Amino acid sequence: MNGAPGFVHVDAHCIVALKPAGLLAVPGRGEAGRDCLAARVQALHADALVVHRLDMATSGLMLFARGADAQRTLSRAFEQRRIHKRYVAVVAGRLAAPRGEIALPLGADWPNRPRQQVDALHGRPALTRWRVLDGDPANDAPNDTTRLELEPVSGRAHQLRVHLLAIGHPIVGDTLYAPPAIASRAPRLLLHASELGFAQPASGAALRFASSPPF
């Protein structure tokens, strides 16, 4: 999967790149884990630093800082929930309402790492907002699927995948969480980071980027 990253935006303080599904966001274990989006971006921009991650199975927009000062500024913006993030997913089943929220605490499923789980006792608060994308061809009654726009208000590991599973609508193609019959419906996880908005770390100018999902 070697190749140059797809750059959406590059300036003196930040970079937005497109991560394909199946590529690590940051280095993993062993020789196979060396190839990742961070390494590909850094091969062309040595000062690029990671400020957030996407799951290996997820595609879409990923933000990098250029230099330690920009990294601190952007990391703080993520912590303070001042980053605009939206995802698109195709889920199993038909939702009863046009929009809603999922507020369920999440924590690690330690015997089954890296899986996460809803954990009412020890989990950390997590909130996901969802909206049905009306008129989308993926809202297919015969195939029993719905396309959603998702907003992860919090940023827990695997939050979107676990929250949607918890309400009975796992993401199609999710081999980690969905039942086999739903996981096998697509060759990849049908989850894409489609919108990213933030303040440019030096000027404070509002920047917003969009990427159409490749499914």
CATH of domain 6-83: 3.30.2350.10
Question: What is the per-residue pLDDT for 139?
Answer: 77
Q: Is the pTM of this model over 0.85?
A: yes
**Cα separation, 72 vs 63, whole angstroms:** 13
Asked if 75 and 40 count as a contact pair (C-beta separation under 8 A), the reply is: no
* Catalytic (active-site) positions: 55
Query: What is the pLDDT tens value at each position of the chain, 215 positions in all?
Result: 457 789 999 999 999 999 999 999 999 888 878 999 999 999 999 999 999 999 999 999 999 999 999 999 999 999 999 999 999 999 999 998 999 999 999 999 999 999 999 999 999 999 999 999 987 776 777 779 999 999 999 999 999 999 999 999 999 999 999 999 999 999 999 999 999 999 999 999 999 999 999 99
Fold of 86-191: Pseudouridine synthase (3.30.2350)
Domain ranges of the chain: 6-83, 86-191
Q: Which residues pair with 39 in a beta bridge?
A: none
Asked if 169 and 92 count as a contact pair (C-beta separation under 8 A), the reply is: yes
